[in-house]
Amino acid sequence: MKPVERRLRREIPALRRHVTVSTGLALLGAGLVLGQAELLAGLLADGFAGHGPWTAGLAALGTVLALRGLLAWTRGALAQRAAAEAKRTLRDRIAERLRDTGPRRLAAGRHGETATLFTRGLDALDPYITGYLPTMAATAVVPLVVVVRLGLADWTSALIIVITLPLIPVFGALVGLHTAKRTARQWRLLARLGGHFLDVVAGLPTLRAFGRERHQVGVVREMADAHRRATMRTLRVAFLSSLVLETVATLSVALVAVPVGLRLLGGELDLRTALVVLFLAPEAYLPLRAAGAAFHDSAEGITVAERVFAVLDGGASTGGEENEASAEGRTGEGRTGEGPPAGTVPVPDVRTARLRLDGVTVHHPDRVEPALTDVSLTVHPGEHLALVGPSGAGKSTLLALFLGFVAPGSGRVLVDGTDLAALDPDAWLAQVAWVPQRPHLFAASVADNIRLGRPDATEAEVRAAARAAAADGFVEALPHGYDTVLGEHGAGLSAGQRQRIALARAFLKDAPVLLLDEPTAHLDPESEAAVTRATADLMRGRTTIVVAHRRGLLPHADRIVTVRAGVVEAAPPRPDAADLAGLVRS
């Protein structure tokens, strides 16, 4: 018995009760097996001898068979109840752990893997509780009872069974060791797939802005295929194990049946005893054969239980192969998308292009009032434009228009006079760097997260971008520096540090158009100062639109416009300090 199995029984009272009840039911089942064999052997022996009537014997045999069916149903119902209670207990403990530590600290912020564990993972305990535990209880009781009865009927047959019986667990253990490793890998791949898929879905806007979304289709497909291959390999081992166990059990029964038949023909054994031996011999091997099959069914549940206790004990990583995804797996290394869609127009030279909104109105499906109403706005090449105004006024929607994430209900978004809808979206986004208010960092290394800005960047270029964004200091202080693997959403970094990683992406991309959505929001004063200095450096020489809720970036703007209730109101091009304070308060 593995340590995790002992811990399961020790910490979950339902499993202790389940094992006790299963043992009692197995003992009762063994008695019914003996009764069935005795009755059936007596009926057949009396029939061949011409004795009768059979009515009482048939009624007794029918009763025993009905009792065995009722016993099997009862065992299954109790097992299902125990499984439900055990899973509920573990889910409650995981939920309590979540409340105590917070979801960002649990499992290094790997929410997808934790969600997989909480749902699909715990369900994998069903075969262990409903199949493996009752079968192991039967294995401990039924063979012993059968061998004792056979010893009283025919000690030679009992001796053969005693000698051959250990062969089944020996062969089962040899194959089972291989199965456990395969199943553990299968579970890790499933957890990795769930975690990565959630990470990709949460980071779709970021992937879209950096042109990496098509590559992730291939990445998810590869991860799903890896899980499929691991599952098929595990099933092949399970089928091999079943073949081995069935072969050993069949040969063992044959070793009993052949001598019994020869002795019966020689008159050394009466028919009734021979039939009892032939009926009981397979029953001695049956629990062990069933235990072998149940072991393979329950192997994933044991792996999940180990992971559950690792989480409850404060384990910070799913270990090993969950982190085997490289930059290619997490953030996309190389484009696999197709060429420009049919009918698109080449992107003009963005460094000298004017960006313009021409009478744009935007409606969001979940809002009655329009997010933007008949907005017209021009941004000149190299201009730094700041957008200010209350929350919900439409500033982020305005940035989404230039990114192409939102299509106007009416009006046009123009790039040097060309409708943005007619441009190749990938080619356009390649000219744009976007730093959102809450940047999405992937569960990959720090270097891979920065390299999202330009996947072919060298290590020296990544470090240079981090220095430009004032991120190199804290990155080098991390346990593994630029190779430190972050949790989902950048778990392990502060808000200011995540913002600087996002700025490093933009420095690395070095795009002529820069869109900044409140880059200093929700930061402490020290982080805000560092991000403001880095952002001001990033804005130089680029056409920039920045959404600002704080005063730090406003002095670096050439022009400030106010957005209120979806309408753009112009402001003085170079406001004084008092005007800046008033704009921010508005």
Lowest mean pLDDT among 173-177, 426-430, 474-478, 545-549: 173-177
pLDDT at residue number 191: 59
What tokens does 193 get? Answer: 């797939």
Instruction: Tell me what the mean pLDDT of segment 126-153 comes to.
Output: 86
Tens-place pLDDT, residues 350-376: 788 888 888 888 887 767 778 888 888
pLDDT, residue 196, reads 53
Residue 332 pLDDT exceeds 50: no
385, β-bridge pairs: 545, 559
Mean pLDDT, to the nearest integer, of 63-71?
A: 91
Q: Return the pLDDT at 324.
A: 38
| pLDDT above 70: residue 539 | yes
Q: Mean pLDDT in the chain?
A: 76
Distance (Å, rounded) from C-alpha 152 to C-alpha 3?
38
Q: What is the pLDDT of residue 74?
A: 92
**Half-sphere exposure (Cβ direction) of 247: Cα atoms closer than 13 Å:** 8
Residue 271 confidence class, pLDDT cut points 50, 70, 90: confident
Tokens representing residue 493 in the block: 């970094």
Burial of 464 per CB tally in 10 Å (0-12, 13-18, 19+): middle
Choice between 475 and 235, residue whose per-residue pLDDT is larger = 475
Scored b (16 or more CB within 10 A) or e, 335-360 reads: eeeeeeeeebeebbebeebebbbbeb
Q: Higher-confidence residue: 268 or 438?
A: 268
What number is the average pLDDT over the span 417-437?
81
Tens digit of pLDDT for each residue in 498-526? 888 888 888 888 888 888 887 776 666 77
**Stretch 85-102: mean pLDDT:** 78
Q: Higher-confidence residue: 53 or 237?
A: 237
Q: Match 């939920």 to its residue by tokens.
A: 95
| H helix or E strand, kind and range, residue 240 | helix 213-265
Residue 97 has pLDDT above 80, yes or no: no
Q: What is the pLDDT of residue 105?
A: 42
Choose the most confident range, by mean pLDDT, from 308-322, 399-413, 440-454: 399-413
| Residue 527 CB partners (closer than 8 Å, separation 6+) | 494, 495, 496, 497, 499
| Strand bridging mode 384-388 / 372-379 | unpaired
Integer Cα distance of 213 and 205 in angstroms:
9
**Crossing angle of the two packed helices 271-312 and 55-101, in degrees rounded to 10:** 10
pLDDT in tens, 560-574: 888 888 888 755 454
Residue 495, number of CB atoms within 10 A of its CB = 16
Q: How confident is the model at residue 227 (pLDDT cuts 50, 70, 90)?
A: low
The pLDDT value recorded for residue 338 is 40
Residues 412/358, Cβ–Cβ less than 8 Å: yes
Only one residue has tokens 């127009």, namely 345
Domains of the chain: 3-330 (1.20.1560.10), 350-585 (3.40.50.300)
User: Could you please report the per-residue DSSP string of 127-174?
Assistant: HIIIIIHHHHHHHHHHHHHHHHHHHHH-HHHHHHHHHHTTHHHHHHHH
Q: What is the DSSP letter of 445?
A: B
70 band by pLDDT with thresholds 50, 70 and 90? very high
Q: How far is CA 47 from the centre of its chain?
A: 62
Burial class (CB in 10 A: 0-12, 13-18, 19+), 110: buried
- Residue identified by tokens 């802005």 is 209
Q: Collect all residues with Cβ–Cβ distance below 8 Å to 72 and sequence separation of at least 6.
A: none
The DSSP result for 304-341, as a single string, is HHHHHHHHHTT-----GGGGG--HHHHT-SS----SSP
538-563 b/e (C-beta count within 10 Å ≥ 16 → b)? bbeebbbbbbbbebbbbebbebbbbb
Asked if pLDDT for residue 143 goes beyond 80, the answer is: yes
pLDDT of residue 491: 66
Q: What percent of the chain has pLDDT over 90?
A: 3
* Residue-level pLDDT at 94: 79
